[in-house]
Amino acid sequence: MFWRLVNEQIHMLPDRVSRLAVVSSGGLTPLEDGIHFDTPSLREFGRRYAAAMLRLRRDAAVSAEAVTGTPLSAGETP
């Protein structure tokens, strides 16, 4: 199916684009249309994306410190 090819390409993006993350929709409950998710699943999806974003920010901060020798202050963005 076409959507499998699209998902495969999406999941390869972090290898090609820096500071980009994708998360799995595995285990989430789809609506009848087979595309969208129910409310509890959307909340879980949000938690997954938030965790991925925090990892990206942490990794970027570590990278910035390695380059500059100075850790980022609270509230600074890389």
* Banded model confidence at residue 70, pLDDT cuts 50, 70, 90: low
What is the spatial distance between Cα 47 and Cα 19, in angstroms, rounded to a whole number? 18
Q: How many residues does the chain have?
A: 78
* Banded model confidence at residue 69, pLDDT cuts 50, 70, 90: low
Helices (H) and strands (E) in the chain, counts: 2, 0
Q: What tens digit of pLDDT does each residue of 35-68 get?
A: 899 999 999 999 999 999 999 988 877 665 565 6
- pTM for the model stands at 0.69
What are the structural domain ranges in the chain?
37-70
Q: For the chain, what is the mean pLDDT?
A: 85
What distance lies between CA 48 and its chain's CA centroid?
Answer: 7
Predicted confidence (pLDDT) at residue 76 exceeds the cutoff of 90: no
